[in-house]
Chains A and B, each alone.
Chain A
Amino acid sequence: MNPRYLRLGVLWLLLLTVPWWLPYVGGYTQLGTRVLVYALAAMGLNLLLGFTGGLSFGHAAYYGLGAYGVGLTLKYLAPSTPLALVIGTLVGGVAATLLGPTLMRRRGVYFAMITLAFGQLFYFIVVRWNNVTGGEDGLTGFQRQPLHFGGYVLPLHDVTFYYLVLFCFAIATAVMGIILRSPLGHTWVAIRENRRRAQFLGIPVERYVWASFAVSGFVTALAGGLNAMLNNFTSPLDLYWVLSGDFVIIAVLGGMRSFWGPLLGAIIYLVAQDYLSSITDNWQSFIGVIFILVVLLFPRGMLGMLRAKARSA
């Protein structure tokens, strides 16, 4: 059997059985859900970062817009989980799509700075727009709603909600996987590898950077929407640049050149956070040390390192 399919099979089997085995290793289902949500956000970011070569320091904005899209839909529009997810994803994704043209010409640090600036712009809008968003206190008063399948009603408690998130995660990763294997994905990688060469192949590079930014924004917005449902709460911190930085750290930690790297990064990041924060308030300095060590020792991230080991073995 093809080892790639074998590994994928093991991965999905593990993900499908999380509610059974996670408590035995000291975790709980909600931690698993959070890992999936962060992994999805970072994988979305990674389409841009790892596969197109554009560093965004403002992806929390699209994540947060997804979260507020979900929260506001549930609170004011209609008590429907699927509708709220669709609207949340659209709000964040469309925002990224509209902003794309203003950043697609920038490169390197300038690109990062503009993404950061737009991110902060949305943050301040949400903070100031008190009467709708709840301002700095965050948005409360909404609740994820049971799913209706014809006459059957599925309540979304911790475990069933995990499966809803896993379902969204599966669809999003399938879509991303297909794109990365397509000419569109090949074009993104070509731009990452050598922008000038790509340009001289006649590829309108900027348009493709835009496309990458947009798709990336949609995926990250979906993750943000799911997170709002997970907590039945969202706050301006979900759009704050610190969270954007966390997504970058997660992608780099796991390995931004690998498709599944951000999932590994999210596991390391959230497990470390969960465990360390119960011991010390300074848990972030430990994450910082881990991050520095990974960047110094394994520039291709944990998964990249494991892969290189497997190849040389």
Chain B
Amino acid sequence: MSLLQLKGISRSFGSLRALEGVSLEMSEGELRAVIGPNGAGKTTLFNMVTGLFPPSAGEVRFDGHDVTGESAERRTRQGIVRTFQITEVFPDLTVFENLRIGVETAQRANALPWMSRTRRAAVERRVDELLSITGLASKSERVVSELAHGDQRVVEVAIALSLAPKLLMLDEPTAGMGDEETDNMVGLIRKLHDEQKLSILFIEHDMDVVFGIAQRITVLDQGRVLAEGTPDEVASDRRVRAAYLGEAA
């Protein structure tokens, strides 16, 4: 069954056509990369899916129903959770506190002015679980703004995970990272996909990462889908080589 379906999505900003008739279908449990040169519309595509702003035309379907007119907050509650190109965390709080916010939100507990001991313990157990999945356990009491860039990005992924997403969307998860940090993030994405059976859609510029882990790749160019397929299919596509990989090489 397809988890995410985009039908003829277009979006313009003034005279700039950021996306033109983009269609995309992603099935449950899939690990999909979106690639394309700068300005191809990758982040705009993400914004269409998460509902940051509405498309000028087209339809977004998620988990079997039309979410085109729904707010970003509602979509998040239905399981579309993203990270950002520029890391968005709660900088002055500890790693533990960052994840606790997410877990409490996932449990719809935000409005409670008081929490029972048992419920609090359940929240903390879930936070510990997330800390161990993401390998952050040893940094749990550290203030996030004092962590290395790579770790901050892992925290952001962990916050996203705390919401128990159906679709995890990562906007350039390895941007600005060194080799070791990149390997760590790649390992985490692979683990989330293999062990947690998560559906993941990610934008990435690092071709080693993309061709190393993606099951399918969508190539965007100037607001249109240029090609889509398995890494092998995409790598051998003539238009892709000409428009994109050729440039990069």
Q: Which residues of A contact B100 (CB under 8 A)?
A: 186
A230–B91 CA distance with the chains assembled, in angstroms: 42
Binary per-residue interface labels of chain A (179-207) against chain B in the complex, 1 for a CB within 8 Å, 0 otherwise: 10011111101100110111111111000
> Is the Cβ of A201 less than 8 Å from the Cβ of B114?
no
> Is the Cβ of A201 less than 8 Å from the Cβ of B159?
yes
> Is the Cβ of A194 less than 8 Å from the Cβ of B113?
no
> Is the Cβ of A197 less than 8 Å from the Cβ of B114?
no
Q: Which residues of A contact B97 (CB under 8 A)?
A: 186, 189
Q: State which residues 66-82 of B face A: CB under 8 Å.
A: 72-74, 76-77, 81-82
Would you call A125 an interface residue if the criterion is a C-beta within 8 Å of the partner chain's C-beta atoms? no
Q: Give me the interface of B with A, judged by CB distance under 8 Å.
A: 50, 72-74, 76-77, 81-82, 84, 88-93, 97, 100-102, 104-105, 109-115, 159, 163
> Is the Cβ of A182 less than 8 Å from the Cβ of B113?
yes
Would you call A178 an interface residue if the criterion is a C-beta within 8 Å of the partner chain's C-beta atoms? yes
> Is the Cβ of A202 less than 8 Å from the Cβ of B112?
no
> Is the Cβ of B101 less than 8 Å from the Cβ of A186?
yes
> Is the Cβ of B73 less than 8 Å from the Cβ of A196?
no
7 contacts between A and B (CB under 8 A): A183-B110, A184-B110, A193-B90, A193-B92, A199-B73, A200-B50, A201-B159
Q: Which residues of B contact A200 (CB under 8 A)?
A: 50, 72, 76, 81-82, 84, 88
Inter-chain contact count A-B, CB under 8 Å?
Answer: 76
A61–B232 CA distance with the chains assembled, in angstroms: 68
Q: Which residues of B contact A189 (CB under 8 A)?
A: 90, 93, 97
Q: Which residues of B contact A179 (CB under 8 A)?
A: 113-114
> Is the Cβ of B104 less than 8 Å from the Cβ of A187?
yes
> Is the Cβ of B73 less than 8 Å from the Cβ of A194?
no
Q: Which residues of B contact A196 (CB under 8 A)?
A: 88
> Is the Cβ of A199 less than 8 Å from the Cβ of B72?
yes
4 closest Cβ pairs, A-B complex: A202-B76, A193-B90, A197-B88, A183-B109
> Is the Cβ of B109 less than 8 Å from the Cβ of A190?
no
> Is the Cβ of B91 less than 8 Å from the Cβ of A204?
no
> Is the Cβ of B77 less than 8 Å from the Cβ of A194?
no
> Is the Cβ of A183 less than 8 Å from the Cβ of B115?
yes
Which partner residue on chain B sits nearest A207 by CB separation?
B111
Selected from A178, A183, A185, A197, the residue in CB contact (under 8 A) with B89 is A197
Q: Which residues of B contact A202 (CB under 8 A)?
A: 73-74, 76-77, 105, 163
Chain A CB within 10 A, most for which of B89, B97, B114: B114
Selected from A178, A184, A185, A190, the residue in CB contact (under 8 A) with B90 is A190
